[in-house]
Amino acid sequence: MEKINSENVFAKGGHDAPLRLIAMNGTQELGDKIEQHLLRWARKCGVEEEDIRIEVDCPRFSSGDGKGLIKSSVRGDDLYILVDVGNYNCKYKMYGFENAMSPDDHYQDLKRIIQAAGGKAARINVIMPNLYGGRQHRRSYRESLDCAVMLQELHAMGVDNIVTFDAHDPRVCNAVPLMGFDNLMPSYQVLKAMFRSIPDLHPDRDSLMVVSPDEGALNRNMYYAVNMGVEMGMFYKRRDYSRVVNGRNPIVAHEYLGTSVEGKDIFIADDIIASGESMLDIAYELKKRKARRIFAYATYGIFTAGLEKFDRAYADGIIHGVFGTNLTYRTPELLSREWFHEVDCSKYIAYYIAALNQNVSISNLIDSHDKIQKLLQGR
């Protein structure tokens, strides 16, 4: 299997179409970082690229109607469209009121830009780290299937590949079996950031333990535990199935299964921290069991209920650090918190884009086992 590195991703010439990047509204920061990686590698390989970005706009009429505009030709290009459906910091005016863009608005703008391309691009690839409708991935009784329908819509519009990160349920790709769908896990990037930020964290069975916050996160936490060679425990959610609150059966208690956590540092990984109540409940339960330090990670730290509870937990010594990626919008307040550590995934995305554009195998990008082992050996 050929290794992917900065020396060969642009030199292969596997795809004739020129690589072009579109950063949708709200992804400019991440798009800039990805572009810089790609341009640096291109110059290193002797490819004189000054700009691979294509500017687009999705203006709104005063009534709220919108349209998509592509400001340069895309004929024959290999397009990579970066979109963050979770960026609520993007605003638009309707009837004089300022509205925050919802995931629905971002998704509609994505479709507008695909329409504006008019079928002239050689290939259309969508990089959607936070998968639209990803939390509504399965049906119970009379419910919509938002994520599956979104994938089928994009496939019908001519999208060739969709790239996402840490999908809530990657089995949703079964909705589009003939379209490229890659679910990337930034496991190596997370551990690299964690060991750099916490230099006295030791990945051995006597010092560290991985704990899954629930049965749904079991596989991702098992991956960390196996690669670091440490023990693993898990919590399961005991719910009250006699009533429904906010569309879900409320959690009665978090029950722990596993060996003792006493005196050990704990690493907890999940795909999303929404309100954060479940993560904090687990942290308090672990502290009752005399855990040492607790480090939480979520690919998408959105903190829908604010940061105050995490501030208190950090001040009280319950949580010692929270790690999150730059794959979705983070507020300035979150970035200023001492307990928050950012995991940069821009280089990972850039590698993937370059490999896909040059038709290089992505197997070693998807499975980061070897890179993790080298990281651990260097400690």
Per-residue pLDDT of 151-203, as tens digits, reads 999 999 999 999 999 998 889 999 999 999 999 999 999 999 999 999 999 99
CA distances from 368 to 209, 362, 365 (A): 20, 11, 6
pLDDT of residue 2: 42
CB-neighbour burial class of residue 106 (10 A; exposed 0-12, middle 13-18, buried 19+)? buried
pLDDT of residue 5: 53
Is the pLDDT higher at 242 or at 179? 179
- DSSP 3-state of 110: helix
Q: List the end-to-end C-alpha distance of the chain, in Å, as a whole number.
A: 27
How far apart, in whole angstroms, are the C-alpha atoms of residue 245 and residue 17?
A: 51
Q: What percent of the chain has pLDDT over 90?
A: 75
pLDDT of residue 60: 93
**E strand spans, the chain:** 19-23, 56-57, 69-70, 78-82, 91-94, 97-100, 123-127, 161-165, 180-184, 208-212, 231-239, 251-257, 265-273, 294-301, 321-325, 340-343
Half-sphere exposure of 158 (CA within 13 A, CB side): 16
Q: Is the pLDDT of residue 95 over 80?
A: yes
Average pLDDT, stretch 24-33?
96
> How do residues 39-74 score in pLDDT, each as one tens digit?
998 888 777 766 899 999 999 999 999 999 999 999
CB-neighbour burial class of residue 149 (10 A; exposed 0-12, middle 13-18, buried 19+)? middle
pLDDT of residue 364: 76
How far apart, in whole angstroms, are the C-alpha atoms of residue 266 and residue 268?
A: 7
Q: Which residues contact 63 (CB under 8 A, 6 or more apart)?
A: 94, 95
Q: Is the pLDDT of residue 330 over 90?
A: yes
Average pLDDT, stretch 301-326?
96
Residue the block writes with tokens 């038709």: 359
Torsion angles phi and psi, residue 48, rounded to 5: -85, 85
Rounded CA Rg of the chain: 22
- DSSP 3-state of 253: strand
Q: How confident is the model at residue 1 (pLDDT cuts 50, 70, 90)?
A: very low
Torsion angles phi and psi, residue 13, rounded to 5: 65, 35
Q: Is the pLDDT of residue 206 over 90?
A: yes
Average pLDDT, stretch 290-299?
97
Are the CB atoms for 108 and 65 separated by under 8 Å? no
199-213, 231-245, 267-281: segment of lowest average pLDDT? 231-245
Is the pLDDT higher at 353 or at 137? 353
Q: How confident is the model at residue 365 (pLDDT cuts 50, 70, 90)?
A: confident
Distance of CA 23 to the CA centre of its chain: 16
Q: What percent of the chain has pLDDT over 70?
A: 93
Q: Is the pLDDT of residue 13 over 50?
A: no
Average pLDDT, stretch 191-217?
94
Is the pLDDT higher at 254 or at 40? 40
Q: What rounded mean pLDDT belongs to the chain?
A: 90
Q: Is the pLDDT of residue 265 over 80?
A: yes
